[in-house]
């Protein structure tokens, strides 16, 4: 009996990123519920593609200077940190940023979405790396319209991605 999982139009993330090469805003979001393998997938994907994996929660836990500034660490500092982390790589995978987004007075998700939609401009030297953000699913992400210049979405549920082992679905 034929396995018909291919009819789900799973996304090959490597090919998707390659397709972003001509885009001005080379950003995307991967989301799913808690404890579903997002971080494992993000780490492995960064490793397999030669990208850089940044666990923001771990970085703040381990860096006393960042930890002491969390209450005043806003979107501008966040953007500067991402630019610094993206230097020297073609792909920056950001994981676990929710704790920080939830500390901002304004809606942190709206600020992040604006960064991904309008600020991470690959036509500018500091923003050359493709930026992928792994987040826990919520209503704002489910309602988000983040699209390429061709009208394709840049927001994917983890279960829509092909597995990294070359199989048909994410495990």
pLDDT tens per residue across span 103-128: 987 789 999 999 999 999 999 999 99
Strands 27-32 and 155-157 turn out to be parallel
Q: Is residue 110 part of a domain?
A: yes
**Would you say 82 and 130 are in contact if contact means Cβ atoms under 8 Å apart?**
no
Find the CATH number of the domain harbouring 71: 3.40.50
In the chain, the number of structural domains is 1
Distances (CA, A) of 46 to 2, 37, 52, 80, 118: 32, 14, 6, 21, 24
Which residue range(s) make up the domain with 56? Answer: 23-160
- pLDDT tier at 155 (50, 70, 90 boundaries)? very high
Q: Is residue 10 part of a domain?
A: no
Region of residue 96 (left: phi > 0; alpha: psi -120 to 50; beta: else): left
40-50 pLDDT tens trace? 999 999 999 99
**Distance in angstroms (rounded) separating the CA atoms of residues 126 and 94:** 16
Q: Is residue 143 part of a domain?
A: yes
Q: Is residue 95 part of a domain?
A: yes
Q: Is residue 3 part of a domain?
A: no
What would you report as the CA-atom Rg of the chain, rounded to the nearest whole angstrom? 16
17-74 pLDDT tens trace? 999 998 999 999 999 999 999 999 999 999 999 999 999 999 999 999 999 999 889 9
Q: Is residue 116 part of a domain?
A: yes
Whether residue 171 is predicted with pLDDT greater than 50 in this model: the reply is no
pTM: 0.90
């Amino acid at each position: 009996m034929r396995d018909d999982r291919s009819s789900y139009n799973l996304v090959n993330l490597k090919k998707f990123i390659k397709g972003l090469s001509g885009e001005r805003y080379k950003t995307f979001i991967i989301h799913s519920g808690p404890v579903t393998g997002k971080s494992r997938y993000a780490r492995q994907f960064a490793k397999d593609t030669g990208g850089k994996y940044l666990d923001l929660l771990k970085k703040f836990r381990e860096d006393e200077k960042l930890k002491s500034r969390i209450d005043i660490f806003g979107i501008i500092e966040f953007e500067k940190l991402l630019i610094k982390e993206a230097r020297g790589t073609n792909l920056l995978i950001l994981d676990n940023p929710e704790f920080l987004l939830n500390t901002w007075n304004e809606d942190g998700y709206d600020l992040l979405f604006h960064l991904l939609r309008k600020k991470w401009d690959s036509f500018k030297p500091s923003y050359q790396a493709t930026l992928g953000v792994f987040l826990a699913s919520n209503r704002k992400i489910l309602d988000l319209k983040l699209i390429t210049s061709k009208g394709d979405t840049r927001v994917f549920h983890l279960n829509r991605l092909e597995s990294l082992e070359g199989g048909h679905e994410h495990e």
